Amino acid sequence: MRYHGIPDLEHLKEWTALGIPFEYDDFMLPGILDDKEEMEKRIKAYLSVDRDRSEDTLHGPFLDITVHSSDPLIRQASDRRIRQVCEIALKLQVKAVILHTNFIPNFYVPSYRQGWVDRNEEYMRKLLADYPKLQIYMENMFDEEPDCLAALAKRMEGERFSICLDLAHAHISKTEISVWQEVCAPYIKHYHINDNHGKLDEHLPLGEGNIPWKQVIPRMDPKVSVLLEVNSLEKYKKSLVYLNGLK
């Protein structure tokens, strides 16, 4: 496996030297999206380095993004942010944009769960039609089980829509990681991995939490891309050392 990393402008040269695909997370918060000058500065800086961008991904906005809302004003605001990021993705020449379930956990009203699947399907089909050069990977957030995400992916199969399975998020859910992997397996195109202790989304380097990586890694399809989702070059390298020690 070749592990993707999250670059930062301060260490862009070092990240580029690794020869790995990038996942940009600069553009997921409104502070950057509303600052056109800063946004364009970052895009220009990332495009200034000579590298293969064909496997890059972009982490989309997630705070308060609810395309499945029953409120049309909330859907409209969510759509605006997502399309803003899709335009950035085209400029950065990435392969896929990571969007998020933003599912209300432990809310088991059948109409809500069915509405989540129906509205997401309707929205994603239109979004993909409007952006034929992009793929969408949907990431589990704090969902307690994989059922709705897998149901949506099954409906969307073959439409440039896949699952980004965040194993750290799965670890803090009430469902075992192995079940997440089994249920989502046919639809996974991308993984996010970091560590935690099963309570909070700590984003620790691998080996510093209690995720059972010796059991989890062998269940991962080696053809699927993997992001080491840690927030520094040092933590990325520390995670690589841990992974190499598992072999």
Phi-psi region of 93 (alpha: psi -120 to 50; beta: other; left: phi over 0): left
What digits encode the pLDDT tens for the residues 24-37?
999 999 999 999 99
What are the structural domain ranges in the chain?
Answer: 3-245
pLDDT of residue 2: 82
Asked whether residue 247 carries a pLDDT value surpassing 80, the answer given is no
pLDDT of residue 1: 78
First and final C-alpha spacing in the chain: 12
What digits encode the pLDDT tens for the residues 127-181?
999 999 999 999 999 899 999 999 999 999 888 999 999 999 999 999 999 999 9
Looking at domain 3-245, its CATH class is alpha beta
Of all residues in the chain, the percent with pLDDT exceeding 90 is: 94
pTM: predicted TM-score of the whole model, two decimal places? 0.97
